[in-house]
Each structure stands twice: as C-alpha cells, then as structure tokens.
Amino acid sequence: MIRAGTLTWFAQHETRLLWRDWAWLLSGGRRRRGVTVVVGLLVFVAFMHVFAYLTLARAPIAFPPDKALLVTLGGTLLLYWSLMLSQALEAVTRAFYARGDLDLILSSSASAERLFAVRIGAMALSIAGMSLALAAPAINILAWLHGARWLAAYGVVLALAMVAVAISLMLTIALFRTIGPKRTRLVAQIVAAVVGASFVIGVQIVAILTVGTMSRIVLFQSERIIRHAPNPDSLWWLPIDAVMGNGAALAVVLALGAIVFAGAIRFCAPRFGEFALAAGNVAVSRRSASRRALKFRPRSPGQALRGKEWVLLLRDPWLMSQSLMQLLYLLPPFFLLSRSFYGQGHSAALVVPVLIMAAGQLAGGLAWLAISGEDAPDLIASAPVAAHRVWLAKAEAVAAGVGVVFGPLVILFAIVDPMFAVIASIGVAMASAAAAAIQFWFRAQVKRSLFRRRHVSSRIATFAEALSSIAWASAGALATSSLCLAVVPGFMALAILTGAWMLSPKRA
C-alpha cells in the first residue's frame, strides 16, 4: 500500500489520469470502442512502418556518418524538437490555466510541490510519447535495416522532451513575470504556434528562395549547407552520435536532459501553485470588451448570429494557437507565389492544392465552433428564427472567416496567374463548403472549450473532412494541368461527401 501524499502516490494518481485521458482521446469516451481502437491503432502502426520502410530502404545511410547524413539527421531532429517545444509550451500553459483539480490540490494539506513535480514529469512523458508515436516507426525500421544501435534514438527523444518541457516551464514563468498572467495565455499560445511552425516554415521558405521547391530534404542535402556545417567530429553532432548508438554520447545527452529537467522542476514546482492561482484569478476576473461592444448592433436575426459568431471567434483564446498554426503554414506558398510573381520561378501551380487543403481545414474548425460549439443552443432554438436561417447565418460566418484569410492570397494569385486563381478559389470554396457540411451532418452539442478535441466526437467526420480536403486539393492540383484529369478526384470528393452524409447520425 502506497502512503498517501508521497511522490509515488502522486505519480500513481497522475499516471491514472494520464492513461484515462489518452484512453478517452482514442475512444471518445465510449467503452465499447476499445477493440475497434486497438485494431485501428495496430493498422495505423503497421501502415507507418511500411511507410517508413519505403522512405528509408534506399536512403544512403553509412556508418560512420558523413556530413551530408549528419546534416539531414540534425535537421530532422531539430524539426522534431521544435514540434516538441511547441507541444510542451501548450501543455504547460494549459496546466497553469485549466482549473481542473487545482483548487482541490491547493486547498488540501498535501504537498502541492510534490504533485507539481510529478505533473511536470508527466508532461515530459506525454510529450515524449507523442513524439515517439511519430518517430518510432522510423527508428524501428532503421534498427531493422542498419542495426540495433539506432534504438538509442528513443533515449534521445526522451532527453529532448525533458529539455523541451524545461524550457517551456522557464519561458512561461518568465512570461508570467514580465507581462503578467493576463497576457501570458495568449502570448504563450502564439509563441507555441510560431515555434512549432517556424522551423518547418523557415526551412521551406529558404528552400523556396534558394532551390525553388518546398522540400525540406532538398535543403538539407544542398551543398551550400553541407559545406558550412560543422565537421563530423564537432560536439554539435553529439545528439546525432547518440541517435546512431554511440553509448557515451547517449549518456551525455540523457544526463544533460535530466540535469536541465531536474533544475526546471526544482525551480518551478514550488512556484507552480503561485502562478496557477494567479492564472485562476484571471479566469474569474472581469474582462472589459470596451469599445468593441458598442459596434455590435445587429439589425436582423441573421446579422445577430453572424456578428455573434465573429465576435466569439475573435475572442476565443484557444482558437488562436490552432488557427495561427494553420495560417503560418500558408507562408511558404505565399513566398512561392511571390517568387513566381517576380518571374523567378514557375511553381505557382504548387500553391493551389496547399491553399485548398488549408481552407478545408480552417473551415472545418470554424464550422465546428459555430455549429457544435454553440454555448447557448436552447436560446437559439427558442428564438423565432427558422432553423435553416440559423444554419445559413452560421455558414455565412464560416465562409466570411475563410474569405478573410484566403481572399487576399487568391487576389495575389490572380495577378500572377488568373486561371490558377480561378481554380484555387473554386477549390477553396468547395473544400470549405464540404468541411462545413460534414460538421453540420455530424453536429453534436459540446462545450466550445473542447475545440482541441473536436476530432474525438466523431472519427468518421474527422476522416471524411481530411479525405474531402485531400480530394479537393488533388482536384485543384490536377486542374492546373488538365481540367479533364481533375474530374476523377472531384468525383472522389463528392463520393466522400455522399458517404459521410449516409453515415451521419439521423436527425430528429
């Protein structure tokens, strides 16, 4: 029997919560789905391994590694780490601001410091777990093809997760101290989105401006980068040596990760409660909407609904990081477009599917918020407005949101290539309409704050939305070379929509 209030007791409690959180995330809270989820996961894992094999089977991997391999592995590792840091920043911010059990913990006689130390550890494990879910197939295939030494990469991922969580904690606390708890939530989310996307996007932009493609690998393999990279015996490559099975390097990387992490826990755990309380005060403090309130003057039910959706979207604190990430990914195509505009490239056609795909994703998110994330469904239902007018107003709000984001890009596109701009705008409209329709068919009333987990409410809707966007993007891509070819993915997109409609829950 574990004694209550000890580190082990808290660890057991946190592990249970973490496990149930993951189980809920995978099953959507439905117990009967257990077998389906396990089968689905096994299929996914097998698919990822096949994909990793096809990607890595012919990769030129030599031992000891040359500079080209070191640069490629280093770039890939940095990319993973930037995503880990982004995830860690979001997790740390949530830990501070989500009330959950904080009131219970802070009001109890148990040592909150111990619990927070365990909670920080759980965050590192969670971040490492998420990163490994992506990296494990590649690591396993590398170990199978080139020797068990590659399994050391698991240790490096763990060390990187510890460093990411440590930096996130220090950064969040620094933000608390400099700009206060009120602004930290928003700024931390923006930083998380920028960090998560910056490396990927930065590399793509450099690749576009120098090589003219959006491929990251091309950039990592460019001679200029390799020439300027440190020599293979440099300490900079220590993490890569560790990934490739150098025991001493792995020990150093793990030790460094553990020291940084332990230091962060030692510094942050005693302060966690203090900052969580400050964050809690923000949640219950009065927030003024000042002058903007005076502009909100609906003259009709439609205007009222549209205006309300836009105001709520603009004020949604968690939507910011989600949408910002999607918008940041539009920067590379924007640069590609600028290059085409100045006559330095001929890759404008590449932009079409990216725009369509991004529009589908954004519209899906906005539609979910407007339809399923309605916080006062009874108020809307009891209003003297026909249901179809309510849905129409919500669809218009979503369409306007998509238009505001993609309109300027399409206009810029029209200057470069009017035909491609027409194709892009049709694709954006179709992908957005399809995503919104799927969200409408699979609507389920939930709290708006569950936006991050919106995919859990219906896996079918999630897959249908993604597949539909991919199909419309493919149709757009093919339409840039031949309109006839675009018919096939266009029909596929319509078939996906029909399938989604047929599988959607029957409405009363």
Partner 1 sequence: MTQNSSVPALKVRGLAKQFDRPAVDGLDLEVRAGEFYTLLGPNGAGKTTTLRMVTGLLRPDRGSIKVFGIDVSADPIAAKQVMAWLSDEPMIYDRLTPLEYLYFVAGLWGVDSNAAEIRARDLIAWLGLMPYAQERCEGLSKGTRQKVALAGALVHEPRLIILDEPFTGLDAASARLVKNVLRERVAEGCSVIMTTHILEVAERMADRIGVMADGRLVAEGTLEELQRQAGAGDASLEDTFLALVSTDTARGSIAA
Residues that bind partner 1 (CB under 8 A): 283-290, 293, 296-301, 303-305, 307-308, 311-312, 315-316, 375-386, 508
Q: Which two tokens stand for residue 351?
A: 């932009």
State the nearest-atom distance from the C-beta of 373 to partner 1, in Å.
11
Q: What are phi and psi of 246, to 5 degrees?
A: -75, 110
Nearer to partner 1, 233 or 378 (CB): 378
Nearer to partner 1, 299 or 506 (CB): 299
State the nearest-atom distance from the C-beta of 193 to partner 1, in Å.
20
Nearer to partner 1, 287 or 506 (CB): 287
Q: How far apart are CA 352 and CA 427, in angstroms?
A: 8
State the nearest-atom distance from the C-beta of 394 to partner 1, in Å.
13
State the nearest-atom distance from the C-beta of 276 to partner 1, in Å.
17
State the nearest-atom distance from the C-beta of 22 to partner 1, in Å.
28
State the nearest-atom distance from the C-beta of 176 to partner 1, in Å.
19
Q: How far apart are CA 128 and CA 157, in angstroms?
A: 6
Nearer to partner 1, 228 or 286 (CB): 286
Greatest C-alpha distance within the chain = 74
State the nearest-atom distance from the C-beta of 310 to partner 1, in Å.
11
* Residues contacting residue 50 through CB under 8 Å, at least 6 positions apart: none
Nearer to partner 1, 109 or 290 (CB): 290
Contact 168, 196 (CB under 8 A): no
Q: What is the DSSP string of 178-241?
A: HHHHHHHHHHHHHHHHHHHHHHHHHHHHHHHHHTSS--HHHHHT-HHHHHHSPPTTSGGGHHHH
The type of residue at 362 is: L
Nearer to partner 1, 386 or 495 (CB): 386
Q: How far apart are CA 118 and CA 262, in angstroms?
A: 11
Long-range contacts formed by 381-387: CB under 8 A, 24+ apart:
383/301, 384/301, 385/301, 385/305
CA distances from 384 to 42, 294, 436, 507 (A): 50, 25, 24, 21
Contact 387, 372 (CB under 8 A): no
Task: Classify residue 68 by burial, with Cβ atoms within 10 Å: 0-12, 13-18, 19+.
Answer: middle
State the nearest-atom distance from the C-beta of 312 to partner 1, in Å.
5
Nearer to partner 1, 316 or 396 (CB): 316
| DSSP letter assigned to residue 99 | -
First-to-final CA distance of the chain: 52
State the nearest-atom distance from the C-beta of 287 to partner 1, in Å.
5
Nearer to partner 1, 358 or 366 (CB): 366
Q: Which two tokens stand for residue 250?
A: 């792995």
Nearer to partner 1, 119 or 394 (CB): 394
Contact 170, 268 (CB under 8 A): yes
- Residue 357: which of 491, 204, 472 has the closest Cα? 472
